[in-house]
Amino acid sequence: MALIAYKCPRYKVTVVDINPDRIAKWNSDTLPIYEPGLDEVVKAARGRNLFFSTDIEDGIRSSEIIFVSVNTPTKTFGTGAGMAADLQYWEKTARQIRDCADSPKIIVEKSTLPVKTAQAMQRILTAGDYKNRFEVLSNPEFLAEGTAISDLEHPDRVLIGSAETPGGLKARDELVEIYANWVPQARILTTSIWSSELSKLVSNAFLAQKISSINSISALCEKTDANVAEVAKAVGMDSRLGDKFLNASVGFGGSCFKKDILNLVYLCRYYGLDEVADYWEGVVRINEYQQERFVINMLSNMFNTLAGKKICLLGFAFKANTGDTRESPAIHISRRLVEERARLVLTDPQALENARTDLKDLTGRIDYIDDPYAASSGCDAIAVITEWQAYKALDFEKIYGSMTKPAFIFDGRNILDHERLFKIGFNVFPIGKPALTHFEEAAGGACR
C-alpha cells in the first residue's frame, strides 16, 4: 500500500488495523518491520496521500477500493487443524465491510486464500439487507521479504483475477489502471478469479518444491562426495529449469511456504485427490527432514554428544535482510540443540527480539548476544543458519582463536569460504559437500 501511494500521488491510501500499537509505529520514525528501502517510501508518502489509522469504519466508508490483507494462518483447531487456512479474520472483515459500507466497493483479496474463497466472500457481502454492490477481485502478492520494495517496483507479474461479468471486468480494469502507473502492461496478467487464487498457492508450492528438491539431493551428495553447488549449477544451466532457488540450505522458512503448501494439500484432500496431496506434502516432509538432518549431523560429528557444549547460531531470521523469524529453521534447530543439552548462544543483526519471543519457554537456557565475536567466543561449534552477507566478512582467525578446540563450523547456507576455514583450523561441515576435518591427521594427513 505504501508503494501504491508512493507511485500514485493522486490516490489517497489509508491503511487501517485493529492494533493501535502497530498503527502508532507506522506513524512514527521506527516502523514496526525491518525491510530495506521501506522507510524512504513511507516517509515520502506519509501525510501526503498515505495515512495509517485505527478507524476501520471510516476507512471502509471513505474508500472505493478495499484491499483485504488480514492474516490467514494455518487453522489450529477443529476440522483441517494444522492444514487448512483459518479464514475467521477474513470473514469478519467481509461482514464488517458489508455492514459499514454506504456506497459500492471493489474488494480486493490480497491475503493468500484457498481457491473459491471469493465465492464465499461474495455470498457474505450480498447476504441480508445489504444496500451496495460489491465486486470481489483476487490480486495475490508475490513479493519476498528482504527485497519487497524492488519486487514491488519491478514485479515479474501482477496477477488480477475477476469474475467475467461486466461488473467484474470493470472492477478489474480499475485495478489494472492503478498498477499501470508503474508496471508495464505486458506484466499485468488478468485471469479468472479461481485461476488467480490458485496461482498464488501453486507459485509458492513450486518455489518451495525447488528448494526441497535440491535439499533432498544435498543429503545424497554428502553420502557420495558429490558437491551440491556443482550439481545445482549443472542442473540450473538448463534454461527449462532455471538457476534460481537452487541453494541448498538448512531448509526453507517464512510465513508463506509451509502454510500455503499445507493449504494446497488440504484442498486436494478435500476434493479427493489424495495422490496429488501426497506429492505436495512431500515438499514439507523433506523440509522437516533437512532441519532435523542438520541437527543429527552436528550431533554425530561432535562425537555423539552435545551435552554441556556451547554452540553459537549465526543468524536466526528465516532469510537474510529481514528480522522475521516465522517458521525459521532456527526455531526447530535451537529447540533440538537445547534438548540435547547444548548451551546455546544466538546472534542475528535484526531478529534477536523475535527469537526471544519464539523461544521464551527456554529462558535461562539460551544467551542472546548482538556481537558475533562475543557470541562465538568460548563455543565448541558455530552453525550458520541465515545467509547474512556480513557473516562472510567476519574475521574467522579471531573467532577460531577464541573458541574451544576442536572447533567446528556447520555452514547451513554454504556462504563461507570452506577451504580457508579449514586452513585456519576449523573442522568444516557444509551442506551437500564433502566435510573438511583435521581428525585423521595423526593417521596420515587431513581427511578431506
User: At CA 420, angle to CA 419 and CA 423, rounded to 5?
Assistant: 90
Map grid coordinates 553447488 to a residue. 229
Backbone angles phi, psi at 413, to 5 degrees: -130, 0
Task: Confirm or reject binding of residue 130 to ligand UDX (CB under 6 A).
Answer: no
- 366-368 and 13-16 beta bridge pairing: unpaired
Q: Binding marks (x or -) toward ligand UDX, 56..95, rule CB under 6 A?
A: ----------------------------------------
Q: How many CA atoms lie within 13 A of 352 on its CB side?
A: 15
Please count the other Cβ atoms lying within 10 Å of the Cβ belonging to residue 224: 9
CB-neighbour burial class of residue 357 (10 A; exposed 0-12, middle 13-18, buried 19+): exposed
SS3 label, residue 268: helix
Interface residue with ligand UDX, options 97, 149, 152, 207 (CB under 6 A): 207
CB within 8 A of 331, min separation 6: which ones?
325, 358, 359
Rounded CA-CA distance 427/367 in Å is: 24
Kindly state the smallest distance separating residue 421's Cβ from ligand UDX, in Å: 21
Shortest Å, Cβ 280 to ligand UDX: 16
Q: How far is the CB of 130 from ligand UDX (least distance, A)?
A: 32
Residue type, 341: R
The answer to whether 216 contacts ligand UDX (rule: CB under 6 A) is no
Q: Does 256 qualify as catalytic in the annotation? A: yes
Q: Which residue number, 169 or 390, has a Cβ lying nearer to ligand UDX?
A: 390
Taking the least distance from each CB to ligand UDX, the nearer of 51 and 388 is: 388
**Which residue matches cell numbers 461486466?**
166
**How many residues bind to ligand UDX according to rule CB under 6 A?**
19
Q: Which is nearer to ligand UDX, 143 or 189 (CB)?
A: 143
Per-position x/- string for 233-272, each x denoting binding to ligand UDX as judged by CB under 6 A, each - no binding: ------------xxx-x--xxx-xx---------------
Contacts with ligand UDX, 266-295, as mask; x by CB under 6 A: ------------------------------
Is 400 one of the binding residues for ligand UDX (CB under 6 A)? no
| Binding-site residue ranges for NAD(+) | 17, 22, 70-74, 111-112, 145, 256-259, 326
Q: Which is nearer to ligand UDX, 256 or 284 (CB)?
A: 256
Q: Which of 8, 100, 221, 256 is catalytic?
A: 256
Alpha carbons within 13 A on the beta-carbon side of 96: 19
Residues 133/142, Cβ–Cβ less than 8 Å: no
- Residue 144 binds ligand UDX (CB under 6 A): yes
Residues 306, 312, 318: CA angle, nearest 5 degrees: 110
* Interface residue list for ligand UDX (CB under 6 A): 141-145, 204, 207, 211, 245-247, 249, 252-254, 256-257, 318-319
Active site residues: 256
